[in-house]
Structure 1
Amino acid sequence: VGNDLMRILHVAAFAVSGYASTEGRQCKPFNPLLGETYEADYPDKGLRFFSEKVSHHPSVVACHCEGRGWKFWADSNLKGTFWGRSIQLDPIGVLTLQFEDGETFQWSKVTTSIYNIIIGKIYCDHYGTMRIKGSGNYSCKLKFKEQSIMDQTPHQVHGFVQDNRTGEKVAMLVGKWDEAMYYVLGDPTMKPKGYDPMTDALLLWERDKYATKTRYNLTPFAISLNELTPGLREKLPPTDSRLRPDQRYLENGEYELANAEK
């Protein structure tokens, strides 16, 4: 398999994997202040990240990230619609991933809805079509299936990679956004009747199932993002999220102080 085909398969898995951490996390996040920033630097991973809230109305957050051989940048804005018992969030913005050889991929996020906000068990779902446009030989189309009331297998994602030169389908993707993604080379629809593509499926990405549930269903990595390690405070600008007193009070369980600060 050519590196360029495997590249877009991994880009597709990356685009899906970002939704995995939303499972079980329905609480409203902190609304960043205008000009609030966050930066992270992991020299051992060759990774640097920076984000800033650049507009308050509408609320827009922009980010830039660099790794070994690639750059990623995006802007994020949400259009919210209240339906009585649910909230629909339609993302506005483009995510761009560029590799050092110049190949670029762009896509937008799918719709997110939060259900049973008045009564019942709250849950969220992601649905719609995600198109990953590649500047090179391949592009990808992913369909996030909307969960129905009687659905026994929710969170399904399926799609295909298409050759930009011929329009031919060269790989199929299937999985669940909160579990794993698999791929099958070729076009399974051209196989004989009764063929099960999962017999040839190969794993692309699998969610790291952390054993211990934390208070807000955050992963150990997500929890570490708010940590002020020794010497870090002196290096951060005053606009950094980790210096917000209300956020720090909440993490420490001092809810009255957090509300007063807010």
Structure 2
Amino acid sequence: MAPQVHSNGSIELDHEEEALARLHLDDAHTELRANSSGKGGYRYESPEEVKAMKAQRAAVWQWLKGIGVHMLKDGLSLTNISMPVTLFEPRSWLERMCDNWSYLQLLELAADAKDPVDRLKLVVAFAISGLRQQISFGKPFNPILGETFQGAYPNGTQVYIEQIAHHPPISSWQVYDHDARYHFFGNGTWAASARGNSVKGQQTGANTVRFSHDDAEVSWEMPYLTIRGVLFGERYLKYGGSMRFQDAAHGLTCDVDIDTEGPGFFRSFFRRKKAHAQDAVHGVLRGKDGEELDVLTGSWLSHLEWEKGVCNGKLHTVWDAVKTPVDRAIAEREALPSDCRFRNDLVQLKTGTLDAAQRAKVELEQVQRADRRLRSEGLKRASA
């Protein structure tokens, strides 16, 4: 569809052209690509981060004295143990989840794409680009059962999230496009454990986008992340593993590998292989007969590129960490009483009253444990 030229000389673009104009990324900035060297990962090395890290490590060591440092040897689950409030940022995980979806313009462009292959390419870019938004220094608060978050992105897209289970912790979300072109929904179970000087975590569960144009759905799962240097040494965050994207209605799949290590040490010693590319993203998009349709390259830290491009080759670099506009969800002023922003521990932490925040956090955890016991006893009586 060609742009419509009005009598006053202004040009009206269709949805696809307008979105492409917003991205303007094929002159992609390359400054951040240099980060994919050495050990790789996002490094917490700014003066502000170093200062905060010293204070955080002091709090961690103090906390470990209370629970026993030896517990780290066998691994320690971070989703079912109480941690000091000084380690947290003043947000619940429900609110922080929205950071994953900061490049909604890629979903908008996907919704307007006329080719299912182009659409899948843009969904893949949307999902992987959001990984870089989860590098916040502090730990978010574990949501309380029944806790909610309600917000909207600058373009009017609505987001609703609820904590629907306690053990294991499961969050459910609904994101509604402002023009009803797509519906993004899913359930995520978060697990994280600490062992020695590192933390490893992953959100499992399907992420699904349903497009109103043809009711087709694209689904995927998230990779795992590792934070090293928790107690001492250089601290950095890395993603790794595989992601599979599927569009069953059109027989399309895309398998993406992130920071894969390649062969083992002895095999690599005797058989020379290409050096492992830190933080690299490599994906292959295939059709229903398994034929290769396109290849994705780049880094979750900096950029993503499709060899054949999208929208008839108009765009090859579909995401660039410097140039792509970031959209943040803004909490609704009038929200449910269960909204995470009304938690007393969060309110106290935002005001800087740490002792009051710690007391409030402990009280909420005690109430949740008591409620869990009551539900368990009720189930036992009902089944007796």
Q: Do 1:32 and 1:53's aligned partners in 2 also have CA atoms closer than 8 Å? A: yes
Q: Do 2:259 and 2:277's aligned partners in 1 also have CA atoms closer than 8 Å? A: no
Q: Which residue of the partner structure matches residue 203 of structure 1?
A: 317
Q: Which residue of the partner structure matches residue 91 of structure 1?
A: 203
- Per the TM alignment, residue 256 of structure 1 is displaced from its structure 2 partner at its CA by 3.2
Unpaired segments ≥5 residues, structure 1: 187-199, 211-218
Which whole-Å deviations, capped at 9, do the CAs of 1:12-33 have from their partners, x for residues lacking one?
Answer: 001101101123x242211111
Q: Do 1:97 and 1:105's aligned partners in 2 also have CA atoms closer than 8 Å? A: yes
Q: Which residue of the partner structure matches residue 77 of structure 2?
A: none
> 1 or 2, which has the higher strand percentage?
1
The question of 1:9 aligning with 2:117 is answered no
- The 2-side partners of 1:209 and 1:244 are apart by 36
Q: Which residue of the partner structure matches residue 50 of structure 2?
A: none
Q: Which residue of the partner structure matches residue 128 of structure 1?
A: 241
Q: Do 1:112 and 1:126's aligned partners in 2 also have CA atoms closer than 8 Å? A: yes
Deviates more, 1:13-22 or 1:74-83: 74-83
Unpaired segments ≥5 residues, structure 2: 1-112, 263-274, 362-384
Deviates more, 1:240-249 or 1:108-117: 240-249
Q: Which residue of the partner structure matches residue 66 of structure 1?
A: 176
Q: Which residue of the partner structure matches residue 158 of structure 1?
A: 282
- The 2-side partners of 1:27 and 1:8 are apart by 33
Q: Do 1:59 and 1:78's aligned partners in 2 also have CA atoms closer than 8 Å? A: yes
- The 2-side partners of 1:172 and 1:132 are apart by 14
- Per the TM alignment, residue 146 of structure 1 is displaced from its structure 2 partner at its CA by 4.5
SS at 2:328 equivalent: helix
Q: Which residue of the partner structure matches residue 168 of structure 1?
A: 291
- Assess, with a 3 A threshold, how the Cα gap between structure 1 residues 208 and 247 changes in structure 2: closer, same or farther: farther
- The 1-side partners of 2:260 and 2:116 are apart by 30
Q: Which residue of the partner structure matches residue 305 of structure 2?
A: 182
Q: Which residue of the partner structure matches residue 140 of structure 1?
A: 254
Q: Which residue of the partner structure matches residue 196 of structure 1?
A: none
Q: Do 1:26 and 1:123's aligned partners in 2 also have CA atoms closer than 8 Å? A: no
SS at 1:221 equivalent: coil
- The 1-side partners of 2:216 and 2:321 are apart by 27
| Alignment RMSD (CA, Å) | 2.8
- Per the TM alignment, residue 154 of structure 1 is displaced from its structure 2 partner at its CA by 3.0
- The 1-side partners of 2:205 and 2:189 are apart by 6
Structure whose alpha-carbon radius of gyration is higher: 2
Q: TM-score, length-normalised on structure 2? A: 0.54
- The 2-side partners of 1:209 and 1:248 are apart by 34
Q: Which residue of the partner structure matches residue 34 of structure 1?
A: 145
Q: Identity of aligned pairs, percent?
A: 25
- The 2-side partners of 1:50 and 1:220 are apart by 16
The question of 1:21 aligning with 2:133 is answered yes
Q: Do 2:255 and 2:283's aligned partners in 1 also have CA atoms closer than 8 Å? A: yes
Deviates more, 1:65-74 or 1:139-148: 139-148
Q: Which residue of the partner structure matches residue 337 of structure 2?
A: 238
- Per the TM alignment, residue 201 of structure 1 is displaced from its structure 2 partner at its CA by 8.2
1:159 counterpart letter in structure 2: G
Q: TM-score, length-normalised on structure 1? A: 0.77
Q: Do 2:281 and 2:297's aligned partners in 1 also have CA atoms closer than 8 Å? A: yes
Q: Do 2:261 and 2:276's aligned partners in 1 also have CA atoms closer than 8 Å? A: no
Q: Do 1:26 and 1:124's aligned partners in 2 also have CA atoms closer than 8 Å? A: no
- The 1-side partners of 2:302 and 2:226 are apart by 19
Which whole-Å deviations, capped at 9, do the CAs of 1:122-180 have from their partners, x for residues lacking one?
Answer: 222110010001121422111001579xx99632111111112x211111111111212
Give the number of the structure with larger relative contact order, counting CA–CA contacts within 8 Å between residues 6 or more apart: 2
- Per the TM alignment, residue 116 of structure 1 is displaced from its structure 2 partner at its CA by 1.9
